[in-house]
Structure 1
Amino acid sequence: MTKSTMHYLQLAIILLAVTLVQAQKIDDTMDLLLIREDKVSPSMSNDYELSLADLHNFLVDNKVKDFNYFTHLQDDYNFAHIIPIDNLNDFRNGTREALKEKINNPELEVIMNYFDLSVDSYLQYIVQYQPKLSYVLENDNWMENSSYRKWNYFYFYPGNETEVEELLAAYRFLYEQKSVEMGFRVFKGLIGTEKPLYILTTWGASPLDYHESLEKASKTLGDEGAVLWTNLMKLVRETKTSEGWYLPQYSYSPDKKLAE
């Protein structure tokens, strides 16, 4: 048996091992996340961050409940706010109106108006966390202690969703089998995105820590990981990558955690 044949045989075994997982229909009650991306000019980023601080302090002072968001700064000066949602109807009129329904205070309107002065444009869309396709170590504190982020957006050819999810599940299985120390999380685009879209997020304490962990993970996954990744990329029609940071000082999450 040649080395190449052995690698494909190992891949077949991995895919067989996740058949049972893929046979289960993805649960409709998985975490839904509303992503609001604010495009901010570099010259206005300081003003925008002051508004973020004002909003955070306002929510803390008023002990606002049932409204949570996790703020990230991406390398293109997009400020992305990740908002866990339980009911789509709560945000039928947008994030501002949803917050105003929680608390009716003129000060909030003033803060929002200052936001408008520093935002060039914004985009809102909804994704769904896919825990069965994600790999997060039990004791991995990927929030405050690992604030560096990388977002990989993969736009696949339509009609290949089943195969894409089989390969992602096989990838997760391989990570578990080899006890890889670096994790990843998978999100599926639902509303307001091109489809099919799957977003893979990874994290680290710093860019250096991230790339060292990535190199170690690649060596651990070996040829089996390379084969799986190559087969996944064959289904991709377009991809883009952003990097940035989680900003806990501007985030507000008194009663909610991001999906794990």
Structure 2
Amino acid sequence: MKILKTTLTLAFILCLTYNLSQAQQMFLVHQDNVKPSKMMEYEKIAKEFHAASVEHNLQTEWVTAVSNDFRYFYITPIENFAELDKRPMADMAKAMGDKFGEMFERYDKCYNSHGSYIVVHDEELSYMPDGSKEAIEGKNYRKWFYMYYAPKNAKKVKEGMKAVKELFASKGSTSYYRIYRNGFGAMENYYLVSVAAKDEVDGATQAKANEDVLGPDRWETFSKVLNHISRMEEYSGEMRPDLSYSPK
């Protein structure tokens, strides 16, 4: 047990040092894997919780995203790991009394699993020529591509991601994307590519136009990533401003 504790402590320190050295924005993500049959009930509770947060001026913030496989993501920016020790809902829970616990008991009936982890926004690999770090207004639709890789291939995958970005820049592509990578709490290494659009049709139109811009030789560059990942998962989803929150 002592060896395990020492190993975990070392892993935590290494992860902390790595993230801080990269000077990238970290996000704490809480993920609820909602049962399809409970989606409407979950939405009702989520809106009640949002209203309660506004009423009690909860001193934290998050943006909400929902994927097409009924996963709900609550994403909060954090500066360091010390913020994980904070209890921003303590005052709200005290003020609401039993109603607070009852609301989460109702939540628990809507999913079989949920949990939290950290992701890191990688500005170096993101392709955002205007330098925007904020969500683009009017573009709440998302395409998400998860690219998983073995630790031994980390360097090659990163080099491939840089090559893709250079291709987009050299061709003057207007199809922008943000890159996130796994942080503390993830069991696998991955890069997440997030592409914004107005809606599904706009996303498909944008993707087709980008194929023409990059040309048929794009696969030669893409292979510098694809040849070194273990698998890729694609999801669609949307940002949910109505379930996002920031204090007054």
Secondary structure class of the residue paired with 1:198: strand
2:13 alignment counterpart: none
Output aligned runs, 1:54-93, within 5 Å: 54-65=48-59, 67-92=60-85
TM-score by length of 1: 0.78
Count of paired positions: 226
CA distance in structure 1 between the aligned counterparts of 2:53 and 2:201, rounded to whole angstroms: 35
Secondary structure class of the residue paired with 1:243: strand
Output aligned runs, 1:83-162, within 5 Å: 83-92=76-85, 98-101=87-90, 103=92, 104-105=94-95, 106=97, 107-138=99-130, 142-162=135-155
Shift of 1:221: 1.3
CA distance in structure 1 between the aligned counterparts of 2:37 and 2:136, rounded to whole angstroms: 28
CA contact (8 A) 2:167 2:221 kept: no
Gaps of 5+ in 2: 1-18
Secondary structure class of the residue paired with 2:186: coil
1:15 alignment counterpart: none
Shift of 1:157: 2.6
TM-score by length of 2: 0.82
Secondary structure class of the residue paired with 1:51: helix
Tell me: CA distance 1:145–1:27, structure 2 relative to 1, closer, same or farther (3 Å). Answer: farther
CA distance in structure 2 between the aligned counterparts of 1:115 and 1:226, rounded to whole angstroms: 44
CA contact (8 A) 2:46 2:243 kept: yes
1:209 alignment counterpart: 202
1:14 alignment counterpart: none
CA distance in structure 1 between the aligned counterparts of 2:217 and 2:61, rounded to whole angstroms: 39
Shift of 1:153: 1.0
CA distance in structure 2 between the aligned counterparts of 1:139 and 1:133, rounded to whole angstroms: 12
Report the RMSD for the aligned CA atoms in angstroms: 2.4
Shift of 1:194: 3.1
Moved more, 111-120 or 137-146: 137-146
CA distance in structure 1 between the aligned counterparts of 2:22 and 2:128, rounded to whole angstroms: 21
Tell me: CA distance 1:177–1:253, structure 2 relative to 1, closer, same or farther (3 Å). Answer: farther
Aligned partner letter, 1:206: D
Output aligned runs, 1:237-248, within 5 Å: 237-248=230-241
